[in-house]
Every structure is written in C-alpha cells, then in structure tokens.
Amino acid sequence: MAGKFVAYRDVGGELIFDTELISYGLRKSGYLSFIENWSQKFLRSAQLDPNNGANWVDSAPPKEPIYGISLSKWSSPLVFLVGDGSPCGEMLVGGVKTLLFVGASASTKAYVFDLMSDDGPITGLKCFRDNPWELTFNSGQPPLNIIASIEAPAPGVLVHPSFDYRYTAYQGGYNSMIGTNGGTTYYQMKSYVDVPVQAGELAAAITFTRSAACNGSNSGAGGFEFGSQEGCGGYVGGVRFMFTVAAATTSSVVGSFPYNYWRAIPDLRPRALVIRTAGLPFPFN
C-alpha cells in the first residue's frame, strides 16, 4: 500500500496538498507567441440568408492575430494569464499542442499548469496512488495554488430600457477602441473591468467564455457589428475581465448608431481563478 502525506499551513490550518489527491503543477511559463492571422467572415450579399454557412466568405488577407503557447508534453493543461487574452482553441501538430488566444499580445505572460507527471529530476518527493497506480505529487513541479475565485461583474448599464445596448460590457468598466493598428489588423474593440484582489502580480484563468456582439463605429469600423468573446487576465493587484473581437468572427453592417455598443451579453457569468506569480519560475519549460 502506498504511503500518504498531507501538508497543512501552521497558521490557519489551510491544506497545502494531499498526496492521495492528484495535483496540478507548473508545466511551462513564458510570453505568448504570435501563431498566425485568421480571417473574419462577411456575408456575400445583404440579401442572403445569414443562417446558411455557404453565404459567408473569408475576408482577405487574414488580419486577426492569434497568439499561443506550445507544449511538447501535456495531459489536461490549464493556462493562467497576466495581461490580455481569451482562449479560442487548440492546435495539435506532431504531438505538440498549442493553446490559442485572441485579443492577446506578445507581452501577455502565460503560466501553464497540468497534471503532475513522473519526469524531471530524480531527487525530491514523488507520491503515488496505488489503485490505480498513478503519480499524485512531484516536488520537482511548483504546485498550483488558487488563492481566489472572482465572479465577472454584471453587464454594463442599458442605454435605454427598451434596447439591448450597453456602452460598456461591464458595470464600472471602460472601453478601448484600438482601431486597426495602422491597417495591420482588423478593427479592434475591447471592453474591460478591473477587479482589485490583493497586492502583488496575479495571473488568472477564466472558467468559461461568453459570446456577445459589439459595434465599434468610433474606432473606424463604419457601422459594422462584430461577434465578441470574453477573457480575463491578472495584473499587479487584481484581475481584469475583457470582451474582445472574437476569433474568426462574423461581421455585418448594422449602422453606426449608437456608437461603440455591446449587446446580447448572457446573464450567466464566469469566474476568474486567481494565483500569485511570486515564487513561480518565469520563463520555465
């Protein structure tokens, strides 16, 4: 029978880890890298049925930047970000998995945790569960320690009670109408809200993402409505939720008033799982 080791903090009695339970450990950390540009979707004609996928065409050239971080060994990875980013899929090429993000940049920091594995240095503490026989803890991997779970704030105030238009996606939030970065990207619009948590740099992972719609006329989009999606990331002192233009979104002409609105935001709100980055190696592979 395998031995069991349970560790608690001496002040407060907080459980640190239980080797009978499977733990997550840091697999990799580093800045997100540019992967490729994706196209958006446009109706071939305003008279066509938008519910028929054949009526949509890819924009050219593709200008929506997608960023990611790659893992050569992986099981069930979970990514915590410092900075902007919304998860938008995965790529698997030759056994290498790349976790993809939209609305991100090369300055976004990523901390990837995964199930602890029996690799790395031989020295240290490794614990196994005997039925089934599997590793549950490896002291060679910094463990995942979630310090808070923060719910996304409520949607922004309605412009008019009869219309589903909000000038910000979140109550107490603010917009960033970035434009096209000199023509290198599509029209970029973001709506943020900052939630203070505690001192120090924090990283966050969103539990699920919501979709919504946005009109960025004042950023130069000319009355187009885009699909948008939600993400979150940490910063020094808190967590920042964000809606950004969705990956490979559809785009349709809706007129230019009211400007810079957000709509169709679901009532069910995700949470941000929060960790401290202090003491975690960066970069780490």
Q: 82 or 8, which is more confident?
A: 82
| Residue at 228 is within a domain | yes
Among 7-16, 194-203, 210-219, 224-233, the range scoring the smallest mean pLDDT is 7-16
State pLDDT tens for residues 35-94.
999 999 988 887 888 889 888 899 889 999 999 999 999 989 999 999 999 999 999 999
Mean pLDDT computed over 212-226? 74
Q: 146 or 219, which is more confident?
A: 146
| Residue at 89 is within a domain | no
Mean pLDDT computed over 143-163? 92
Q: Looking at the predicted structure, is the pLDDT value of residue 17 above 60?
A: yes
What's the confidence (pLDDT) of residue 2? 52
What's the confidence (pLDDT) of residue 181? 85
Q: Looking at the predicted structure, is the pLDDT value of residue 241 above 90?
A: yes
Q: Looking at the predicted structure, is the pLDDT value of residue 190 above 80?
A: yes
Q: Percentage of residues in the chain with pLDDT exceeding 70?
A: 88
Which band of pLDDT confidence, cut at 50, 70 and 90, is reported for residue 219?
low
What's the confidence (pLDDT) of residue 277? 97
What's the confidence (pLDDT) of residue 93? 96
- What is the per-residue burial (b if ≥16 Cβ within 10 Å, else e) of 80-97? bbbbbbbbbeeeeeeeeb
What's the confidence (pLDDT) of residue 121? 61
| Residue at 90 is within a domain | no
Mean pLDDT computed over 157-165? 87
Range of the domain at 197: 149-276
State the total domains in the chain: 1
Q: Looking at the predicted structure, is the pLDDT value of residue 122 above 70?
A: no
Q: 104 or 128, which is more confident?
A: 104
| Residue at 261 is within a domain | yes
| Residue at 30 is within a domain | no
| Residue at 225 is within a domain | yes
| Residue at 33 is within a domain | no
Which band of pLDDT confidence, cut at 50, 70 and 90, is reported for residue 192?
very high
| Residue at 57 is within a domain | no
Which band of pLDDT confidence, cut at 50, 70 and 90, is reported for residue 1?
very low
Mean pLDDT computed over 203-214? 96
Mean per-residue pLDDT of the chain:
88
